[in-house]
Amino acid sequence: MSNSLASRAARPVPRYTSYPTAPHFHAGVTSADYAGWLGALPAGTDLSLYVHIPFCDRLCWFCGCHTKQVLRYDPIAAYLPAVQLEMEEVARRLDGRGGATALHLGGGSPSMLRPDDLIALAQRARQLFRPRPDFEFSIEIDPNDMTEDRYDAFAAAGVSRISIGVQDFDPKVQQAINRLQSFEQTRAVVEGMRQRGVASVNLDVLYGLPHQTVGSVEATIEQALALAPDRLALFGYAHVPWMKTHQRMIDETLLPDAAERLRQSTAAAARIVAAGYVAIGLDHFARPTDRLAIAAAAGQLRRNFQGYTTDAAPALIGLGASSIGSLPQGYVQNVTATGEYIRAIKARGLATARGIALSSEDRMRGWVIERLMCDLNISIAELRHRFGAAAEAVLIEMAYAAQGDADGIVEFDGRRFAITEAGRPYVRSVAAAFDTYLGTGAGRHSVAV
């Protein structure tokens, strides 16, 4: 690895699930702003719903999510009525406009929900937001939560896609990150959900964890492939102990360096592609017949807070503590603490703590970054068509990026700016060149590869 590539790999940059990214949200965007933005959505707008369940029954040391460990169900039972109240307030503000294309339950561990609570939550979402004919209901699952009645409840609630965090199947690695989960447990969930009609299975695998080697990551990939997932995500562990203090439980001396992380990522990706999967953007893979691969081939892939998606809804409604919503006018984020969230919802129906209103410059750069993250290339003609004279500043930056590239990471011929296949692992680093917020504020990020 050249010095310049090593520098790219080790550079802390955002994951670009939004632009501007969350560290640049501010308290100047309020619940009143959010209510106004909801009220301004046109009739017939497609809506994507995300519900955050910020609870786990164990604390995985690698986790970067907003979550808390609970040993009793009482906090969850107190939280869910507030989520339904927020749903009702959002629906009231929409006043009959829009229909839901998707519902995603993330966490934390939404699979902790009791069967009757899961069914009730899904039913209320359908009642309030009128699902479209191609409505998709997805949920994240911790195999340790699963029981027969939960399997049946997922089917009764209409779950159509599941996502399971595998991380790594090596017991030594699992011990080091406090995430014990056997291959047999994972296989039981995949088989149990498929038997109940779930159409799509996604598995998440991590590299860059303590004790991992190229060989151990490849072994986990082989086991994951044996479960025949429809999609597979290969994420680099984001070590951010300044944000997530529980990550201090991980021995940093056991973490691989940037060069080893790249070797692990490259070897794992090669195994997945060799098994017949299509590489999607930075870190996702899908069967050629999967909707994600079809969208990528058609240039219709999108990126949001759940990662790569086929969800093209212009309004993402974030529900629950710390949830982020995305509307044409900008981003909104709810308060993070669950107690504060519940109090805010009871008091005023909404719990917006911060956000950001988009400028025309933000929209242009957000489009550029999303297309690079999704397609690895930008049509200059389309850029100019969409943004007119404002695009010229970005074109200068593209030319500068290409001139300064000695490693064959990008190409620029005046008609197209593209990240090469060799540059795929560095796509976050390339996208960062067009981020005018980076370096301002107090945000800190994980390494690029």
Which of 26-30, 186-190, 289-293, 304-308 is predicted least confidently? Answer: 304-308
pLDDT of amino acid 170: 96
What does each C-alpha distance from 145 to 61, 114, 220 come to in angstroms?
18, 10, 22
pLDDT tens string 264-280: 999 999 999 999 999 99
The band of 441, judged by pLDDT with boundaries at 50, 70 and 90, is: low
Q: Are strands 200-207 and 161-167 parallel, antiparallel or unpaired?
A: parallel
Specify the pLDDT at position 316: 97
For the residues 391-399, what does the mean pLDDT come to?
Answer: 96
Per-residue model confidence as pLDDT tens digits over 333-351: 999 999 999 999 999 999 9
444 band by pLDDT with thresholds 50, 70 and 90: low
Q: Which two tokens stand for residue 218?
A: 């490849």
Residue 445: the pLDDT is 63
**Overall average pLDDT of the 242-248 stretch:** 83
Residues 94/356/438/283 CA torsion (nearest 10 deg): -10
What pLDDT, on a 0 to 100 scale, did the predictor assign at position 449?
63
218-227, 298-307, 383-392, range with the lowest pLDDT: 298-307
> Across residues 39-51, what is the average pLDDT?
97
**Residue 12 pLDDT greater than 90, yes or no:** no
Does pLDDT of 227 surpass 80?
yes
pLDDT at 442 over 70: no
Percent share of the chain, pLDDT over 70: 96
**Interval 275-301 mean pLDDT:** 96
- The per-residue pLDDT for 123 is 97
Starting at the edge strand that comes first in sequence, how are the strands of the sheet with 377-379 ordered? Answer: 377-379, 416-419, 410-412
The predicted structure's pLDDT at residue 25: 96
Residue 81 to residues 52, 68, 108, 124, 283: CA-CA distances in angstroms?
13, 18, 18, 11, 36
Residue 247 or 34, more confident: 34
Mean pLDDT on 32-54: 97
| pLDDT the model gives residue 9 | 67
Q: Which residues contact 359 (CB under 8 A, 6 or more apart)?
A: none
* Domains recognised in the chain with CATH numbers: 21-357 (3.80.30.20), 360-434 (1.10.10.920)
Judge whether residue 324 has pLDDT over 80: yes
> What average pLDDT score do residues 3-28 get?
85
pLDDT given for residue 406 in this prediction: 87
Condensed to tens digits (0 to 9), the pLDDT of residues 133-176 reads 999 999 999 999 999 999 999 999 999 999 999 999 999 999 99
Identify the pLDDT of residue 34.
Answer: 98
Instruction: Report the chain's C-alpha Rg in angstroms.
Output: 21
Question: Distance (Å, rounded) from C-alpha 76 to C-alpha 194?
Answer: 27
pLDDT at residue number 6: 64
pLDDT in tens, 409-435: 999 998 999 999 999 999 999 999 999
Query: 3-class secondary structure for 354-409?
Result: EEEECCHHHHHHHHHHHHHHHHCEEEHHHHHHHHHHHHHHHHHHHHHHHHCCCCCC
Cβ within 8 Å of residue 361, ≥6 positions away = 390, 436
Torsion of CA 119, 327, 64, 113, to 10 degrees: -10
Q: Which pLDDT does position 164 carry in this prediction? A: 97
**pLDDT bucket at 130, cuts 50 / 70 / 90:** very high
Mean pLDDT of the chain: 94
